[in-house]
Structure 1
Amino acid sequence: MAETETRLRRLIADDVGECCDDDVSRRLDELDELADETFADDGASTVFAVLGNETRYRLTRLLSAADDELCVCELEPLVDVSESAVSHALSDLADAGLVDRRKDGNWRYYTSTRLAEDLFATADGEVDA
């Protein structure tokens, strides 16, 4: 922490010409407040954590690209994991708000949500830019 405070002191001094302990303390308090506000009830971290797994990412990407809803049995061969692993991954994705599910008798059908589609559209747009 001492090295961080030293660097912060140099930054403040470069910006305003001088720096004292109170300046460093005040800036650290401001930064702590920013972090508290930013990470309080951060739903985005859940979404990105879920997409950090290759299987869940691929399932979300496939559902976003599909023209219609897909069943677990249709998704399983596309991600090369067991049916139970696909079901578990889809459950995690539904909990994160990235897929919607519908049960019809013995079958569960999945579609991507607007959130997932918007995330991929934004990411694709940035990559293509």
Structure 2
Amino acid sequence: MTRQTGGRTDPESAVECCSVPAAPDDDQLAADVQLLSALGNDTRYEALRIVAGAEDGVCVCQLQPALGVSQGAVSQALSRLRSAGLVTRRKEGRWRYYSATESATALLATLDDLRGDGSE
């Protein structure tokens, strides 16, 4: 309970009743912001959804017509998703295939659950 003195709240008693949980450290906050901002673009988000739904990975040439954007835009989107740790890339000859990480799959499942689209 806070105590008022002369119309003001006593700060010492306010701390006792209104403790604030410790904030995540700066590195954790930066990683979370990077991950969430990577999904803050329609092309990147849709690309991640397509990649996550693929069994064996997806090539840029497969994503381009599905997303309706240039090859450069697809490559840039995948690069940003990769930097955020949401997709991995493997090279086969001259082609690069992208797959969703476990973190991306879990994040998308959480979004589905929040929206009520989960399989439960």
TM-score over 0.5 for the pair:
yes
How big is each residue's C-alpha offset from its partner over 1:5-39, in whole Å with a ceiling of 9 and x where there is no partner? xxxxxxxxxx424222x439968xx76x94xx425
Q: Which of 16, 20, 24 lines up with 1:38 in the alignment?
A: 24
Give the ranges of 4+ consecutive aligned residues of structure 1 lying more than 3 Å apart after TM superposition.
22-27
Matched, 1:113 2:115: no
Structure with bigger helix share is 1
Distance 1:47 1:90 in 2: 13
Cα 1:80–1:39 shift into 2, 3 Å: farther
- Normalised to the residue count of structure 1, the TM-score between the two structures is 0.74
Determine the C-alpha separation between the residues in 2 that align with 1:65 and 1:105: 23
Contact 2:59 2:96 in 1 (8 A): yes
Pair 1:122-2:110 in alignment: yes
Query: Please, which of 12, 34, 39 is the counterpart of residue 23 of structure 1?
Result: 12
Q: Where in structure 1 are there 5+ consecutive unaligned residues?
A: 1-14
Give unmatched runs, 5+ long, in structure 2: none
Two-structure CA RMSD over aligned residues (Å): 2.3
